[in-house]
Amino acid sequence: MTVTISETVSLLKEHDKFIIITHIRPDGDTIGSGSALCYALRKSSKTAYLYNNTQFEDSFPWVAAPYIAPEGFEPEYTVAVDLADESLFPEGFKGKVNLCIDHHASNTMYAENILLCPEKASCGEVVMEIVKELNGGLDPTVADLLYIAVSTDTGCFLYGNTTGDTLRAAAELCDAGASNTYLNKILFRTSSKARLTLEAMIFSSLRYYHDGRTVIAIVTKEMLKEAGATEKDCQDIAALPGRVEGAFSSAVIKEVDENNCKISLRTNGMVNANKVCAKFGGGGHKMASGCSMNKNCFEAAEILANAIAEEFE
């Protein structure tokens, strides 16, 4: 059933021995939100850990590290954070979810209880309200974790999902002691040599459709090998092709194997990304969604471009 912020806090107060799960290919929002919730629960004298997502090492491992569950921990209550669908469960996780905290309109309502706030730009904004009610306020540690969540899911407040409420939340986190200058440098202004090499390869091979209104980047395994890049170097590459002037929609198609690829679609709102990706079994938000195709990257690009053309609003 659906629950409110206050009802969510009541559920958290009623239970103990929490395990918090994050989604596959974890980003700053799921890791920051999950870690913030874990910290807040511990502060309220609860036992809480993050499920050991095997892909943490590919995304902000320093954020999750203090909260990962020790081997043998037996939870009594499971909370999913920023996790819209059971297909996104982290590797190895099985069992029911007692509570889901999310902001994706495409959420499949799989959890026993769900707090869903699709009007929020990030899950971090939802968790922030929970933490304030659960702990009676924010401290610098949790403010840092929530700032990571909010800032990364909005591209440092540049994406179209950013609202006045998002900026007010960020200001409140800064007032609570979030190290925004330090975090912005780490998260948005620091790149590995491999990442910069990969970006150069992406920008030099962009594919244009619909008179330049759609821009698609293809990232093959060979490109990653040539650049010396790993998954750590691929954070937020979905935003790169959207920088092209005149682009209404943009996508990154990343090769998984010869006939399988992952797609991240971004739009300015004139194309509904969620509707496009839903055609291929995916989903997300109106301006940011994802899906997979059992096609090679180049075939997928043509299919995706045709699907985008059908959804121009």
pLDDT in tens, 50-75: 999 999 988 899 999 999 999 999 99
Q: Which residues contact 223 (CB under 8 A, 6 or more apart)?
A: 198, 201, 202, 229
pTM of structure: 0.87
Q: Which residues contact 209 (CB under 8 A, 6 or more apart)?
A: 215, 216, 305, 308, 309
Residue 140 confidence (pLDDT): 98
Tokens standing for residue 278: 């839903």
Q: Which residues contact 270 (CB under 8 A, 6 or more apart)?
A: 248, 249, 312, 313
Residue 231 confidence (pLDDT): 87
Q: Are 25 and 235 in contact (CB under 8 A)?
A: no
Higher pLDDT: 233 or 312? It is: 233
Residue 313 confidence (pLDDT): 54
The domains of the chain, with CATH numbers, are: 5-188 (3.90.1640.10), 193-310 (3.10.310.30)
Q: Hey, what amino acid is at 275? A: K
Q: What is the average pLDDT score of the chain? A: 95
Q: How many of the other CB atoms lie within 10 Å of CB of 123?
A: 30
| Least confidently predicted of 32-41, 125-134, 286-295 | 286-295
Q: Are 138 and 172 in contact (CB under 8 A)?
A: yes
Residue 232 confidence (pLDDT): 87
Residue 269 confidence (pLDDT): 85
Look at residue 283 and tell me whether its pLDDT is greater than 90: no
Mean pLDDT of 4-12: 98
Q: Are 127 and 59 in contact (CB under 8 A)?
A: no
Q: What is the DSSP string of 158-200?
A: TSTT--HHHHHHHHHHHHTT--HHHHHHHHHS---HHHHHHHH
Residue 235 confidence (pLDDT): 87
Mean pLDDT of 218-238: 94
pLDDT class of 279 with cuts at 50, 70, 90 = very high
pLDDT class of 157 with cuts at 50, 70, 90 = very high
Q: Hey, what amino acid is at 221? A: K
Residue 59 confidence (pLDDT): 87
- Rounded distance between C-alpha atoms, residue 177 and residue 199, angstroms: 33
Q: How far separated are the first and last CA of the chain, in Å rounded?
A: 33
Residue 206 confidence (pLDDT): 97
Residue 22 confidence (pLDDT): 98
Residue 90 confidence (pLDDT): 97
Look at residue 312 and tell me whether its pLDDT is greater than 80: no
Cross-sheet strand order for the sheet of 48-50:
48-50, 18-21, 77-81, 99-102, 113-116
Tokens standing for residue 107: 């959420």
For strands 214-219 and 249-257, give the pairing. Answer: parallel
Q: Look-up: residue for tokens 């059971």?
A: 86
The pLDDT tens digits for 109-153 are 999 999 999 999 999 999 999 999 999 999 999 999 999 999 999
Q: Which of the residue ranges 62-76, 232-246, 268-282 has the most confident prediction, judged by mean pLDDT?
A: 62-76
